[in-house]
Copies of this chain bind each other. A is one copy, B any other.
Amino acid sequence: MTQTDILIIGGGPAGMVASATSRQYYPDKSVTVVKKTEKSLVPCGIPYVFGTMLDSPEDDMIPCGQMSKKMGVKLLEDEIIEIDFATKTALGSGGEEYRYEKLIIATGSVPKRPGIENVDAPGVFFVPKDPDYILMMHAKVEAMETVAVIGTGFIGVEIAGELAEKGKKVHLVGSRLLKHAFDPELSDYMEQKMLHDRVTFHKDKRTSRILVDEAGRARGVAFSDGEEIEADGVILATGYRPNTELARKSGLSMRQYGTIYVDEYMRTTQPDVFAIGDCAEKRHFLTKRTVPIMLASTATAEARVAAANLYKINLVKSFSGTIDIFSTVIGDTCFASAGITEEDAAKQGINTVSSTVMVDGKHPAKLPNNHKQAVRLVAMDTSGIVIGAQVIGGTDMGEMINILGVIIEKRMTVYDLLNLQVATHPLLTSGPTSYPIVQAAQNIVVEHISC
């Protein structure tokens, strides 16, 4: 029997941050994390395991919970298979009983299994955040010459790009690239950058079947229009679903997309039970509807809120809702997005105005390593409140998107942005006369809203 004050189920970013933060806030309380495997992967680093930037998958593994261990957190390898909220106990797969005062569920997400024929054939891979699986998959994919990647979200696009860098022939199958993060104009630009002579993009094709050889092994895919392509293996990057079987069968109240209901303090419907990260409900910052957004940064923010509120309410989840905020790199170009696209806004009945500007990323432009920057702002047409932004440029755009995240979170308007106080420097940013966030805001004011 293991007795602990705070029990955390799951050792991903949410669980680990919750454990370290709990010890920071309550140094007198014991904290135990139960996780399935000893090692952990940096989840968004997984695509880079397949490319040239890391020497081996082990380079993406973090010596799990170094910080947490330093903070005195106990890490145990086990799988919780039952929780009894009445007696405040949880049961491990090997029969171990865990008693807790406070429980945090951080069970994350697992790959969706699309309804495709032969999806379980050898040579078909998902992309779970499971170190042992990724190690096995990496060894097998290394040996392949041609790989079909199904799915054009971040993971699909990144893995396809990395495999191509590694010298493999890649078939990428899906709708336009990152369609929930970018409006068509920017998505098309990404397509140009991405499409490497080793990547064939089968745009708007639906995969209906995995083709198998006589031994039952994957040998390609068939599309719904009958076209077939050959490949040595197939990677399904078709999204994730919350890992919430345990929560559901334990009797927690659930929400749409299989998420666990949580309030603004990350509390579930059971006293002393919290849920955080991919398994917990997310409400959209604009519509307040439940949305299937899964982000490590959101997960860790929720972990900090849960930890602060474990014993008494100290801290509300102060953001007004979850903002989709992403970034990625293709070649030397960063693509990033925050908030809603114009296309998605239209679907929600929100009238928007937008402007896209392109400027030099250094000033004067003759300085070395100048990279063009494109910034697109999406604002509500009457209030001018900024609700979305998309950026393309050098690697510094990975932080520029976080300026835009704060702008969206604080409901700033295009008028506010006309006066944005920014640091500009010849070697670091665009010029003060052309700073692209300000320029795009000014275009919207002049062209659409008028002063």
Q: Are A426 and B44 in contact (CB under 8 A)?
A: yes
Q: Are A405 and B429 in contact (CB under 8 A)?
A: no
Q: How far is the CA of A433 from the CA of B451 in the complex (A)?
A: 43
- Hey, which chain B residues are within 8 Å of A401, CB to CB? 423
Q: How far is the CA of A252 from the CA of B28 in the complex (A)?
A: 65
Please tell me which stretch of A90-98, A103-111, A188-196, A291-299 contacts chain B, meaning at least 4 of its Cβ atoms lie within 8 angstroms of it.
A291-299
Known: A396-B398, A428-B395. A59 touches B366 (CB 8 A): yes
| Chain B CB within 8 A of A329 CB | yes
| Chain B CB within 8 A of A315 CB | yes
- Hey, which chain B residues are within 8 Å of A253, CB to CB? none
Q: Are A297 and B42 in contact (CB under 8 A)?
A: no
Q: Among the listed B54, B296, B433, which residue makes an inter-chain contact with A367, where contact means beta carbons less than 8 Å apart?
A: B54
Known: A398-B428, A406-B406, A415-B315. A17 touches B433 (CB 8 A): yes
- Copies of this chain, complex-wide, total 2
Q: Are B297 and A442 in contact (CB under 8 A)?
A: no
- Hey, which chain B residues are within 8 Å of A427, CB to CB? 48, 53, 329, 395, 398
- List CB contacts (< 8 Å) of A53-96 with chain B: 53-55, 59-62, 67
- Hey, which chain B residues are within 8 Å of A222, CB to CB? none
Closest chain B residue to A419 by CB distance? B301
- Hey, which chain B residues are within 8 Å of A445, CB to CB? 308
- List CB contacts (< 8 Å) of A428-451 with chain B: 428-429, 431-433, 435, 438, 442, 445-446, 451
- List CB contacts (< 8 Å) of A282-300 with chain B: 295-300
- Hey, which chain B residues are within 8 Å of A363, CB to CB? 42, 45
CB distance from A35 to the nearest CB of B (A): 14
Q: How far is the CA of A24 from the CA of B443 in the complex (A)?
A: 9
CB distance from A378 to the nearest CB of B (A): 16
Q: Among the listed B16, B327, B435, which residue makes an inter-chain contact with A428, where contact means beta carbons less than 8 Å apart?
A: B327
Interface mask (A321-342 → B, CB under 8 Å = 1, otherwise 0): 0110111110000101010000
Interface mask (A402-418 → B, CB under 8 Å = 1, otherwise 0): 11011101101001101
| Chain B CB within 8 A of A368 CB | yes
Closest chain B residue to A432 by CB distance? B296
Q: Are B409 and A318 in contact (CB under 8 A)?
A: no
- Hey, which chain B residues are within 8 Å of A446, CB to CB? 24-25
Known: A305-B418, A364-B59, A432-B13. A423 touches B406 (CB 8 A): no
| Chain B CB within 8 A of A120 CB | no
Q: Are A327 and B421 in contact (CB under 8 A)?
A: no
- Hey, which chain B residues are within 8 Å of A325, CB to CB? 421-423
CB distance from A102 to the nearest CB of B (A): 15
Q: Are A297 and B327 in contact (CB under 8 A)?
A: no
Q: Among the listed B25, B53, B398, B426, which residue makes an inter-chain contact with A423, where contact means beta carbons less than 8 Å apart?
A: B398
Q: Are B318 and A415 in contact (CB under 8 A)?
A: yes
| Chain B CB within 8 A of A397 CB | yes
- Hey, which chain B residues are within 8 Å of A296, CB to CB? 424, 431-433
Interface mask (A375-398 → B, CB under 8 Å = 1, otherwise 0): 000000000000000000001111
| Chain B CB within 8 A of A257 CB | no
User: Can you list 10 residue pairs at the A/B interface with Cβ under 8 Å?
Assistant: A25-B451, A54-B367, A301-B418, A318-B415, A325-B423, A327-B425, A327-B428, A399-B403, A405-B422, A406-B406
